[in-house]
Amino acid sequence: MSDHPMYALSEEHQAIREAVRAICDAKVAPFAAEVDEEARYPREAAEALRAADFHAPHVPEAYGGAGADALATVLVIEEIARADVSASLIPAVNKLGSLPIMIGGSEDLKKKYLGRLAAGEGFSYCLSEPDAGSDAANQKTRAVRDGDGWILNGTKRWISNAGESEFYTVLATTDPDARSKGISAFVVEKTDPGVSFGAPEKKLGIKGSPTREVYLDNVRIPGDRIIGEEGKGFEYAMQTLDHTRVTIAAQAVGVAQGALDYALGYAQERQQFGRSIADFQGLQFLLADMGMKVEAARQLTYAAAGRSERGDSDLTFFGAAAKCFASDVAMEVTTNAVQVLGGYGYTRDYPVERMMRDAKITQIYEGTNQVQRIVMARQLLAGVQSTL
């Protein structure tokens, strides 16, 4: 038998969780309400995460990054989301934006852009468009060859951290008749002439993470900015989502844990009928269900992270399952946390209504939970078996 702990986090992984939690207690949680209220970028969190190398922990050491494995990256994102989901988009979006390069990019692209990401410049992912949401292959953004380079035109919508990020992975069609086989991926820089941004969307939650349109107006980029092969962009985009849906599951677990922790504390302090409300079995059952579901979501998420790290053949199923299950749990648990706090939970004087609003996006982005169910069913019907 190996001396590896059976079904337990390694000491290294536990140490990462503790380190992130300490930073979040000091530099993320204290600003979360203000960031939400003012719908402003979480600068304090961004600086603290950058200083500790938790802003883009997935970047390999060979490119100047922290070299965190997929499970460690999940732990970082989960812990940040426990304090503030908006701030957890910093490492999550940086992984999403740069993963296409890690999957399909040339060594030169990796050296150039992963190094700058590790040094603190952000990376966003531009797949969605006004008419390409769930139907991601319906790309209208066009990339046309121009001598040695490419010219890009189009509108990308719902782009997380747009304007903050220095770099953008842009999916565009290079052959409009070929649907998914005619899509290619490119790196666009914020400072490329012709790049501009729409007004920040006015959102229900994750107000600290700017969501804006990205406009590409005759943006000319050099030929070496194509990621991998022409026509393979959709494949890279889908492979990327297989991995990053695990990070959305991590956000969901984190925000659910944050809401549960708050509800547990409140239930023991709040007195009604001459005793703490935690003494009532009706509330105990609610809390028990919340704890049980958070833990089930966490286990599925960590199992998916292992598959992401190893590149297992059932990652597509596990990424979709973890994201779908954990985000449904996050919505239920945060809603029930509001219920535990009663009228107080419904006000902005307490953090649980923010957590409930923030949780909602995890059921929507990186593929709606309806799309996740399509992905899971296709995998099951194709006979994909669990690698365990």
Q: Which residues bind ligand COS (CB under 6 A)?
A: 125, 127-128, 134, 136-137, 180, 234-235, 238-239, 241-242, 316, 365-367, 371, 374-375
Tell me if 323 sits within 8 A of 366, measured CB to CB. yes
Place of tokens 């001459």: 274
Query: Shortest approach of ligand COS to residue 367 CB, angstroms?
Result: 3
What gap in Å lies between CA 274 and CA 252, rounded to an integer?
35
Position 359, amino acid: A
Give whichever of 83 and 183 is closer to ligand COS, judged by the CB atom. 183
Query: Shortest approach of ligand COS to residue 116 CB, angstroms?
Result: 22
Tell me if 283 sits within 8 A of 340, measured CB to CB. yes
Task: Report the C-alpha dihedral over residues 321, 209, 128, 196, rounded to 10 degrees.
Answer: -160
Tokens of 293: 């579901």
Question: Would you call 366 a catalytic residue per the annotation?
Answer: yes
Give 134's DSSP letter. Answer: S
Catalytic residue (choose from 78, 121, 235, 366): 366
- Long-range (24+ apart) CB contacts under 8 A made by 111-116 are 111/63, 113/167, 113/187, 114/59, 114/60, 114/63, 114/64, 114/65, 115/63, 115/64, 116/166, 116/167
Tokens of 2: 């190996």
What gap in Å lies between CA 251 and CA 244, rounded to an integer?
11
Query: Shortest approach of ligand COS to residue 20 CB, angstroms?
Result: 23
Tell me if 243 sits within 8 A of 104, measured CB to CB. no
* Nearest residue relative to ligand COS (C-beta): 367
Query: Shortest approach of ligand COS to residue 235 CB, angstroms?
Result: 5
Give whichever of 44 and 235 is closer to ligand COS, judged by the CB atom. 235
Give whichever of 316 and 334 is closer to ligand COS, judged by the CB atom. 316
Query: Shortest approach of ligand COS to residue 100 CB, angstroms?
Result: 12
Enumerate the active-site residues: 366
